[in-house]
Structure 1
Amino acid sequence: MKTINTICIIDDDPIFRFGTKKLMEKVQASLNFLIYKNGKEAFEDIIYKLKSNTNIPDVILLDLNMPIMDGWQFLDEFATIANTERIPIYIVSSSVDSRDIEKAKNYEIVNDYIIKPFSLSVIHDLLLELQRNID
């Protein structure tokens, strides 16, 4: 079972970013984080990391509703890039709209849809699932 090293959080809510980071550190202390406030900032930096093969995230937690580039736009762009399928993406959204949940299922690169807010047990289960599934 591989250890998760780098978690990417793409969310415009500073409270969510801070809280998620703290919850994840409670489950696994030695994590690195890539934190982005919108999809455009994340997309540009992750593409650079993929091209240079440095500090590539082990997982992406993606919000849907953000300024500049939202989660759907990020997914549309990210899906066109080679080798991105090896990075699991979890949509983490406060939207309980069944249309959003169904739309997420249409993206092969999306592993799951998690509704905010989530608990320590959800984080724990997510990290265990990732450790089992990462090559």
Structure 2
Amino acid sequence: MALIKCPECNKMISDKARLCPQCGYPIQDSICYQNFSPEKVSVSKRSLDAIIEHAKLYFEVGAHCEKEIIDLLMYEGYSSDVAFYVANNLDVNWEEQAVLKVYEYFEIKPFSREEMMGQLEYDGFTPTEISFAIKKVYKESF
């Protein structure tokens, strides 16, 4: 077992942990795509760039978390290596995506602060992204 730094809260944790015990960040997913590079993915750089452009289209229909983008790409038939690489190389502010998702949910129905936190967690946003969105939106709204 080796100790690694959680990319979310910077605490030292086991590399075997599925989630950071401090902040809840999904460590195993993070480890999967931190080490990807075009050379390690069996797809040409040109193809990866095209897939990245394709993935940007998802944001035209709504806000998404990084996990959801990975899931959508894998659903479309891309390998997990490619999906993780693409999600990690999108020029996206995931915290702002969480904010946009909150406003999308407000169009459906009012959510209490706690309900919204639970919904964003269910959607796959990280604790930091959720915290950012809740602080920003509920501070502005109330």
Bigger radius of gyration among the two = 2
More helix by percentage = 2
TM-score bucket (shorter structure): under 0.3
Q: TM-score, normalised by structure 2?
A: 0.25
